Chains A and B, each alone.
Chain A
Amino acid sequence: GQNIDQPTEMTATEGAIVQINCTYQTSGFNGLFWYQQHAGEAPTFLSYNVLDGLEEKGRFSSFLSRSKGYSYLLLKELQMKDSASYLCAVVDSNYQLIWGAGTKLIIKP
């Protein structure tokens, strides 16, 4: 079967750094997405990785290791508005997105 694992919930302090991990086992791999979803809202795109390595975009970075079936999202200089769920999704061999259950990130002052 196909499986995406993320921690259910994480807590971090405003101004700090947090790393949200995602491990996957899927039938094929054609890329990995990270989305942000605020409570009661729609998911919005953060990043896409298809090659190994780190992609940096402002305060957010995403890393991929295809050999390990592993990705992480790194959030720096945390702000209260970063309190949200972060969804990891893998594009499988049929070019369908397989979604993790999401990690709820709580930011404390």
Chain B
Amino acid sequence: IAGITQAPTSQILAAGRRMTLRCTQDMRHNAMYWYRQDLGLGLRLIHYSNTAGTTGKGEVPDGYSVSRANTDDFPLTLASAVPSQTSVYFCASSDEGGSNEQFFGPGTRLTVL
């Protein structure tokens, strides 16, 4: 692995189903982030983690949960998907939080019907 990977690449999901988006980085970055990107809107932060074992809420956390059991992995879970969660989801990481360059994964395109 080189950099940051996400899985799946795309997914169509029925409303009410549970879904976990996976994110793994091999850069030993402390900070990781989940964003959603919708047409006409900027990237919006869902959840973040400044270091393994800690997580925090971003701008739009409702309906999503995260965990950070180790440095490399930062999964995002939709407990019960709704159509408004249709979006492109990007995972990112940075050496530390704040004013450090963020490196982005390739994204997951999620459609909730």
Residues on A lying within 8 angstroms of B by beta carbon are 4, 8, 30-31, 33, 41-45, 48, 50, 87, 89, 91, 95-102
Contacts and interface: CB of A to CB of B under 8 A. Distances in A.
Interface stretch (B11-19, B35-43, B62-70, B73-81): B35-43
Given A100-B42, A102-B42, A42 B99 contact: no
B21 to A, nearest CB: 14
Nearest to B97: A95
Contacts of B48: 96
B63 to A, nearest CB: 20
Nearest to A95: B98
Contacts of A43: 43, 90, 104
Contacts, number: 47
Given A4-B42, A97-B45, A102-B42, A91 B99 contact: yes
Interface residues on B, range: 10 to 19
Contacts of A48: 99, 101
Contacts of B98: 30, 91, 95
B101 A33 contact: yes
B102 interface: yes
A42 B106 CA distance: 5
Contacts of B90: 42-43
Interface string B80-104: 0000000000100000011101111
